[in-house]
Amino acid sequence: MDEVLTGLLRPKSIAIIGASATPGKIGHTVVKNLVESGYQGGIYPVNPTADEILGLKVYKSVLDIPEPVDAAAITVPAKFVIDVTKECGEKGVKGLIVISSGFAEVGDTELEEELVRIANSYGMRVLGPNVVGTLSNSDNMNASFAPFLPLDGSASLVSQSGALLIAIDAITFTRRIGFDKLISIGNMSDVDFADTVAWLNEDENTKCITLYIEGITDGRRFIKESANTHKPIVVLKAGVSEHGAAAAASHTGSLAGAQKIYSAAFEQAGAIQATDLSDLFNCTLALSLQPPMQGDNLLVLTNGGGVGVLATDSAEEAGLPMKFAPEAVQEELKKHMPSFGSAKNPVDLTGMAGNEWYFDSTKYAFAHEWVDGLVVLYCETAMTNPMEIAKSLHRAITETGIKDKPVTISFVGGERSDEAMQWLVENGIPAYNDPHLAVKAMGTLRDYARLQELKNEPINNNHKVDKQAAMDIIEAVRANGRTGMTEIESKGIFKAYGLPVVQTSVVTSEEEAVETAESFGYPVVMKIVSPDILHKSDAGGVKVNIEDEVGVREAYKTILENAKAYKADAEIHGILIQEMAPWGTETIVGSVNDHTFGPTVMFGLGGIFVEVLKDVTFRVAPISEKEAQIMLDGIRGAPILDGVRGEAPRDRKALAEVLSRYAFMITDLSEEILESDANPILVYEEGKGVKVVDARIILTEK
Amino acid sequence: MDEVLTGLLRPKSIAIIGASATPGKIGHTVVKNLVESGYQGGIYPVNPTADEILGLKVYKSVLDIPEPVDAAAITVPAKFVIDVTKECGEKGVKGLIVISSGFAEVGDTELEEELVRIANSYGMRVLGPNVVGTLSNSDNMNASFAPFLPLDGSASLVSQSGALLIAIDAITFTRRIGFDKLISIGNMSDVDFADTVAWLNEDENTKCITLYIEGITDGRRFIKESANTHKPIVVLKAGVSEHGAAAAASHTGSLAGAQKIYSAAFEQAGAIQATDLSDLFNCTLALSLQPPMQGDNLLVLTNGGGVGVLATDSAEEAGLPMKFAPEAVQEELKKHMPSFGSAKNPVDLTGMAGNEWYFDSTKYAFAHEWVDGLVVLYCETAMTNPMEIAKSLHRAITETGIKDKPVTISFVGGERSDEAMQWLVENGIPAYNDPHLAVKAMGTLRDYARLQELKNEPINNNHKVDKQAAMDIIEAVRANGRTGMTEIESKGIFKAYGLPVVQTSVVTSEEEAVETAESFGYPVVMKIVSPDILHKSDAGGVKVNIEDEVGVREAYKTILENAKAYKADAEIHGILIQEMAPWGTETIVGSVNDHTFGPTVMFGLGGIFVEVLKDVTFRVAPISEKEAQIMLDGIRGAPILDGVRGEAPRDRKALAEVLSRYAFMITDLSEEILESDANPILVYEEGKGVKVVDARIILTEK
C-alpha cells in the first residue's frame, strides 16, 4: 500500500491551513466537520492571526506544530498556496488536500503545475486543487466542507465533480446506499483516478470502487491499475455525446468517438459502466453487497404472475434469458405452492405464499447447484407482512451458508415494503423497488464475472517483425516532408509487421512488369499511375485478371497506348502491378492514436456495415487473441463471419490473429502512427486466411 | 359517454352480492372499504343469511333492494354467479364487478362465456371476472378488496394484474404518484382495454390513461379507441420476449414477433410505451401534469456542471439533442449568473445560484418563444434551501402564465430535496431525483406530441383495384386444395391491386413465347418449368437478357434441348417468360395476419439487412402514405434509400405508395391472405419507380 497516499487519505493527523474562527468560512467548516465527525487523530488548525478555534489550539505555521502531520487541508487563497506548500514540505507532511480553487479550472495551469512540482519535490502528493475534501466513515473523518459523513457502507466513491459529491453525500441517506469513503478528486493535478483505484484496492474498508468521471488524464495507466484490482469498479462517465470527428483524415478516425473508446477502455479495465446516476447507485449496491454471478442460470421466485413476466423481460434485456430449472428442482419447488402455482421459471408461489413457502423455496433454490443466481420478488398483499417476508428470506439465505452466489430482491409495495427492503440492505441483501432493477442488478453481477474472466488473457508482445524496415520507410516519408503515406508505403509497414498484404509495386518498364508479376504470382491487376488520369477505368488504364507473361506484356502496352489516347500530354509515373486477391468477405481494421488512451484498434465489416450502420468496435491496443475474437463478435453484423446464405464459415482465427498483430503494430509504432486503415481486408473460408487489399497510414506530426 | 359503463365505473349505488359479516372475507372487505372510503352512494349488502353488516341493512336478494342499483360487486363462489347475474338483470343493474374467481383463469371458459351472454342479454356489462374491483378518488369509492384509495391524482390506471394493482395502490404513497381511478380488468370477458380507454377519455377526472397490459383481445379496436382519445395514454406491456415463430411459412412470418407488432400497434394508437414499472410511473407523472412539448428546442438550467453534462447525455438519448439558445437569450441569461457561469445549453448558473437567479432565469427562459421545453436541475448545496428553490421555480413558472409548454425538474440531494420535490409534484410540476429522469420525462412529452401529429393522417381506402380478379385466382387455388400460391398466382393478386410486378407467364409453344415476350417488352428472362429439374441453371435451363424475337426463339429451343439432355424423361410444364427488371436497391415488403392485430405490413431492406440484422419494421394495416414514409425511415439501414457511395436517392415516394397500397391489399383480403412476401422489390432512382420481382402468398385455412 502506498504510504504517502495512505497519509493523504487515512491521515493520523491533519493540519487545516487557513483555519478560521468565523462560522460559514470554509476554513472553519473543515475544522468543525473534523471535530463533529469524531476524528480521533490530531487536528491542528493553522492561522497566523487566530489563537483558538472550537477549543483547539491554533498554530501560526504548520512548522510550529509539535507533532508529526500526515495531511494538510489547504483552504487559503490560491496565491498563498505555494508558500504554505513549501512549509508543509519542510514539515514532512505526506499529502495535501488542496480545497482552494483558482487554478487550472480558471485557466491558471502554471500555478497548478508549480504547486505539484514543489509538492512532489518534497515527496508529497496533491489531491486537487479545487476539491471538496475527503471523507471516511471507518476513520470517523470528515476532512471536507461537505456537511456530514455519508451513510456508512462498504463502497467508496471518487468524484470528479464536487457539487455532485456533496449532493451524493445527502442522497446516501435517502436512497439508503452506504459508502465508507467519499473522495473529491478535483482538478487531478497529481493524484488521479488510477492512483485512487490502486489505493482503494488495498483499502480494507472498501469492497466496491465507485467512480464519477468526466475525463481521464492517463488512460493507459487507468486501464492497467483498474485491471489489477480484485474489487469491482463501477463507473459513471459523463459527457458521452460524441465529440466532433469531422477533421479525421482516415476512415477509422471518422468512426472513432470519445464514447466508443471510453466504453472499450472501461471494458478492458474490467469496470462496469453505469448509464445514469440511479444506475450508479443500483450497481454499487449490488457489487458492494454480493459476489459475482459465476454462471448463466438465473432462477426467479415470485408471488405474482405480473411481476414474474416483467422480470422475464428484464432478464432477456440483461443478457440472462431464463431457462426452466431441471425437473427435479421443479418437483421439489412444487411442494411449496398451491396446485395452481408454477414451478417453471419464474417460479410462481402465487399470492397465497406466506413466510414459510418463501423460506422453504428460497432455501432450497439458493442451495441448489443448478442455480447460479437467485432473484426473489414479492408483491405486497393484504395477507402478508413485508418485514416478516424479508426476515424469512434473510434467514433462508443465511442458513444455506453459501457466500459465493448472489441474491437480489425486489418488493413492490408501499411503506411497509420500503422498510422491509431497507432492513434487507442493512443486512447485506440488495433490494430494489422495481423487479426490473433486481434483475438488472443480477445482470451486473454476471457482467462483472464475465469481465474478470478476460483480465488474465495473455497478450503476445513477441511477434516477429522487422521494425527497422518499417522505420526506414517512415523516415523516408518524413524526409519527404509528408505525414500521409501512399498505399505502397503503408503496405510496406504492414508487411514488416507480418500482415498478409496483397502485394503492390510500381514499374516503369515492360521487363520490370514481367519480373514483378512473376514474383507476386498470377493472376495480377495492372493500373496506370498518373496524376493527370484520375478516372483510370474510363481511360482504359485498368486491366484485371492477367494470367501470364504474355498477358502482362500485352497489358503494359495497351494501358500506355490507351493513356496516351486519353490524354496525350499526361505525366505517367509508371504502371502499378498488384497481386489479384480472390473475392472474400469485406472487413475493415484500422486505428487511431487517441488523445486519452493512445493507440486504439478498430474492427468492422466493410461496405454498408461501416458506411451506413457505423457498425464498428474498438479496443485500446495491444489486445489478446481472445479479445480479438470478442471484437469479431462485438458488431451487429457478426453472423456474417459465420457464413450466410449457405456460405462456409469465414476464417475467424486468421482474422483474429491479424487483428491482434495489427494492434501490436500500432502499439510498437505508437510514436509514429497517428491513424491507419486496412480496408478492405478480405476474409476467406475457414483455413484459407485473409488478405489486406488496401492500406493507409497517416503519421504523427513531429 | 357510455351510460352503462358509467353505471359500472362511477355507480350511484352498489350492491355487494355475497356480502359477509365475517372480517377477513372478501365479501366483508368490499363493504368495509366502501364505507371507509366515504362513498356517498347507496351501499346495499346482499346475503340470504345475514341481517346487518357494519350497521348496514342486508338484503336477501338484489331484487329486494328498494332503490335502483347501478353496479353489483359479486363475491359469491363461481357456481352461484350465473344465478345472481340473472337476478341483477331482473333488477336492472347496469354493470357487474365480478370479483369471484374460478372462470377462464382456471380453464372454465364456458362458464365465463355464459356469464357474459346472460349479462349482455339484460344490457349489463361485465368487469372481470377475477378482479380486485374498482377504485375512484373523485367518487370516494373503494369498491374493491384493495386496502385503501390510492394517493389522489389526475391519472387513471387500468391493470390486467390484480396483485400488481394492489401493490401499486400502496406504491402511490411512497412514490408520490397520484391516481384518480384504479380499475382491475381481470379476465376481460366483456369490458376490455378499448372500452376503458374510450370511457376514461370522457371521464372528467382523468388527464392521463395508464395501462398495464399482458395481452389484448381485440387489437384493432384497441388501436381505434386509443387513437380517438385526446388524452395521453402510457402503456407497460409485460411479456415482450419474442414468441416462437419457427412455424412461419413466409419470410415475413419468420421475422414477425409479438413484441414488434405490439410496439407498432401502440405507436399507431398514439400511446407512449413504458419500459418498466418505474418508467410507467415516471411517464404517468409527466403526462398527467404537463402539456406535450411542441418543438425540439430543449433548454436546461442547472447549478452544477456535472449534472448538466449528465443531462446533455440524456437529452441525446431521448432524441432531443441540445442546441445553443440564440445569442439574445444567452445575453439575457448571463445577467443571472457569475462571470464563470455559462449561458450556453445547459445554462450553468453555478453553485452560487440562489433563489433569485433561479427565479429570474427560469421566468425568462420559460417565457421565451425559442424554448419549447424547460428542464431545471438543482444540486443540493449547503448555501441554499431546496424548498425555497422549489417555491421560486414554481412562482417563476406560474408568473409567466404559460400553460401550453412543459417543464420538468430534478433535485439531486437528500431529504430536504425530496420534500421540495414532493411539494413541486403536489403543485403540478413533475420532479425526479435523477437529472436523467427529468430529461427523459421531457422526451416523453415530446414523443407524445409527435405521435399525436400522426393520428390525423388520411388513409386512402379508395385504391382502384380489381378485387374480382384476385378472388378468382384465390378461389381457383382453394379449389385445387392448396393454401400456398405459386409465384405467378401471387403476382396475379398483386397485379389486381395495382402493384408494379415484374410480369411473368408460363408458355408452352415457341409462338406463345414470342407473343408473351413482345407483350412484356424486351429484355426478358426465360426459364424451364419442370418438377424434375430443380437446379435450372445447372441444366442449362435459364437464359437471361434476351433482347428480341430471334433470341426468344433460339432460347426456347435451346432450353428444351438442354433439359432433355439433362434428364431425358423430365416432365416439362412449359417455359417461364419474365420481364427482366434492371437492378435496383433490394427491399422487402410482406405481411402477416396477426392473431391480435390482424393484417400487418412489414418493410425492410433486402439481403443481409433482413437475413442477418432482422432490420425490419411493422405497422398494422391499412396505413397512410405519411406512415409508409415513416416506415421507410424506421429501419437502421434507412440511409441506403437516400443513396450511398455516390448513388442518386432512391424513389422513396413510389416505394411508400406501394407500401400503403400493399397494406390496403392485405386489409381488403384479410379473410384470405395469411402471410405474404414481395421479395425483392427493386427500388430505382427518384422518379423511376419500383418493381416487385418475386411474390409469395399463403392463404388462410378455411
Cell triple for residue A132?
471538496
CA distance B465 to chain A (A): 36
A147 contact B CB<8A: yes
Phi, psi of B513 (to 5 degrees): -60, -45
Kindly determine whether residue B174 and residue A106, on different chains, have CB atoms separated by under 8 Å. no
Q: Is the dihedral of CA B280, B281, B284, B285 positive or negative?
A: negative
Q: How far apart are CA B450 and CA A238, in angstroms?
A: 28
Kindly determine whether residue B167 and residue A303, on different chains, have CB atoms separated by under 8 Å. no
B380-383, long-range: CB within 8 Å, 24+ apart, which pairs?
B380/A166, B380/A167, B380/A170, B380/B411, B380/B412, B380/B413, B380/B414, B380/B416, B380/B417, B381/A163, B381/A166, B381/B303, B381/B351, B382/A145, B382/A147, B382/A166, B383/B351, B383/B352, B383/B354
pLDDT of A457 reads 85
Nearest CA in chain B to A274: B310
**Among partner residues B172, B379, B434, which is closest to A276 by beta-carbon distance?**
B434
* Alpha-carbon radius of gyration of chain A: 32
- Write down the ipTM of this complex: 0.89
Helix pair angle (A277-289, A435-455), 10° resolution: 70
Nearest CA in chain B to A351: B163
pTM of the model: 0.92
**Kind plus residue range of the DSSP H or E element containing A259:** helix A258-268
pLDDT of A249 reads 57
Q: How far apart are CA A267 and CA A258, in angstroms?
A: 14
CA distance A306 to chain B (A): 6
**Among partner residues B212, B277, B434, which is closest to A435 by beta-carbon distance?**
B277
CA distance B4 to chain A (A): 29
- Tell me: pLDDT of A644 over 80: no
pLDDT, one tens digit per residue, over A335-379 is: 999 888 889 899 999 988 999 999 999 999 999 999 999 999 999
Does residue A97 contact residue A26 with C-beta atoms inside 8 Å? no
- Tell me: pLDDT of B354 over 80: yes
A434 contact B CB<8A: yes
Phi, psi of A266 (to 5 degrees): -65, -40
Does residue A371 contact residue A408 with C-beta atoms inside 8 Å? no
Contacts of B281 in chain A (CB under 8 A): none
B324 contact A CB<8A: no
Does residue A671 contact residue A680 with C-beta atoms inside 8 Å? no
Nearest CA in chain B to A168: B413
User: What is the β-pairing status of strands A347-348 and A95-98?
Assistant: unpaired
User: What is the β-pairing status of strands B208-213 and B233-237?
Assistant: parallel
pLDDT, one tens digit per residue, over B91-113 is: 999 999 999 999 998 889 999 99
Contacts of A168 in chain B (CB under 8 A): 412
> How large is the average pLDDT for residues A213-230?
94
**Among partner residues A163, A214, A380, which is closest to B381 by beta-carbon distance?**
A163
Question: Following DSSP, what letter does each residue of B276-312 receive, concatenated?
Answer: SHHHHHHHHHHHHHSPPP-SS-EEEEES-HHHHHHHH
pLDDT of B249 reads 57
A490-495, long-range: CB within 8 Å, 24+ apart, which pairs?
A490/A676, A490/A695, A490/A696, A490/A697, A491/A692, A491/A695, A493/A665, A493/A669, A493/A673, A493/A695, A493/A697, A494/A665, A494/A678, A494/A692, A494/A695, A495/A469
Question: Following DSSP, what letter does each residue of A599-631 receive, concatenated?
Answer: EEEEEEESTHHHHTT--EEEEESS--HHHHHHH
Residue B250: band (very low, low, confident or very high) from pLDDT cuts 50, 70, 90: low
B240 contact A CB<8A: yes
Kindly determine whether residue B434 and residue A608, on different chains, have CB atoms separated by under 8 Å. no
- Tell me: pLDDT of A250 over 70: no
Nearest CA to A100 out of A163, A26, A44, A150 is that of A26
pLDDT of B247 reads 43
Q: Is the peptide bond before A680 cis (omega within 30 degrees of 0)?
A: yes
Contacts of B214 in chain A (CB under 8 A): 306, 309
User: What is the β-pairing status of strands B71-74 and B42-46?
Assistant: unpaired
- Tell me: pLDDT of B64 over 60: yes
Cell triple for residue A589?
481494421
What is the CA angle B585-B591-B597, rounded to 5? Answer: 140
Pairs of CB atoms within 8 A across A/B: 196
Taking only residues 203 to 232 of chain A, the set having a beta carbon closer than 8 angstroms to any beta carbon of chain B reads 212, 214
pLDDT of A571 reads 86
- Tell me: pLDDT of B242 over 60: no
Query: In 10 A of CB B335, how many CB atoms?
Result: 11
Taking only residues 522 to 581 of chain B, the set having a beta carbon closer than 8 angstroms to any beta carbon of chain A reads none
Contacts of A241 in chain B (CB under 8 A): 312-313, 316, 321
pLDDT, one tens digit per residue, over A174-198 is: 999 999 999 999 999 999 999 999 9
pLDDT of B1 reads 80
Nearest CA to B44 out of B59, B32, B23 is that of B59
- Tell me: pLDDT of A131 over 70: yes
**Beta partners for residue B698, in sequence order:** B484, B675
Residue A240: band (very low, low, confident or very high) from pLDDT cuts 50, 70, 90: low
pLDDT, one tens digit per residue, over A411-437 is: 999 999 999 999 999 999 999 999 999
Least confident of A420-434, B421-435, B629-643: B629-643
Kindly determine whether residue A434 and residue B278, on different chains, have CB atoms separated by under 8 Å. yes
Kindly determine whether residue B170 and residue A416, on different chains, have CB atoms separated by under 8 Å. yes
Q: Is the dihedral of CA A260, A266, A267, A273 positive or negative?
A: negative
Does residue A93 contact residue A127 with C-beta atoms inside 8 Å? no
Cell triple for residue A33?
466537520
- Tell me: pLDDT of A613 over 50: yes
**Among partner residues B163, B412, B645, which is closest to A171 by beta-carbon distance?**
B412
Nearest CA in chain A to B177: A414
Listed in sequence order, the residues at least 6 apart from B670 whose beta carbon sits closer than 8 Å to its beta carbon are: B593, B598, B599
Report the percentage of chain A scoring pLDDT > 90: 83
pLDDT, one tens digit per residue, over A291-332 is: 999 999 999 999 988 899 999 999 999 999 999 989 999 999
- Tell me: pLDDT of B353 over 50: yes
A612 contact B CB<8A: yes
Listed in sequence order, the residues at least 6 apart from A244 whose beta carbon sits closer than 8 Å to its beta carbon are: none
Taking only residues 14 to 43 of chain B, the set having a beta carbon closer than 8 angstroms to any beta carbon of chain A reads 29
pLDDT, one tens digit per residue, over A76-111 is: 999 999 999 999 999 999 999 999 999 998 889 999
B413 contact A CB<8A: yes
Q: Residue A662 is which amino acid?
A: Y
Q: Is the dihedral of CA B71, B77, B78, B80 positive or negative?
A: negative
Question: Following DSSP, what letter does each residue of B476-540 receive, concatenated?
Answer: HHHHTT-SBPPHHHHHHHHHHTT--BPPEEEESSHHHHHHHHHHH-SSEEEEEE-TT-S-TTTTT
Q: How far apart are CA A44 and CA A54, in angstroms?
A: 11
Kindly determine whether residue B167 and residue A304, on different chains, have CB atoms separated by under 8 Å. yes
A123 contact B CB<8A: no
Q: Chain B interface, mutation test: which of A36, A313, A320, A650, most B Cβ atoms within 10 Å?
A: A313
A433 contact B CB<8A: yes
pLDDT of B69 reads 98
Kindly determine whether residue A639 and residue B414, on different chains, have CB atoms separated by under 8 Å. no
- Tell me: pLDDT of A246 over 50: no
pLDDT of B610 reads 83
Convert B178-245 into a string of H (helix), E (strand) and C (coil): CEEEEEECCCCCCCCHHHHHHHHHHCCCCCEEEEEECCCCCHHHHHHHHHHCCCCEEEEECCCCCCCC
pLDDT, one tens digit per residue, over B447-460 is: 999 999 888 788 88
Nearest CA in chain B to A237: B310
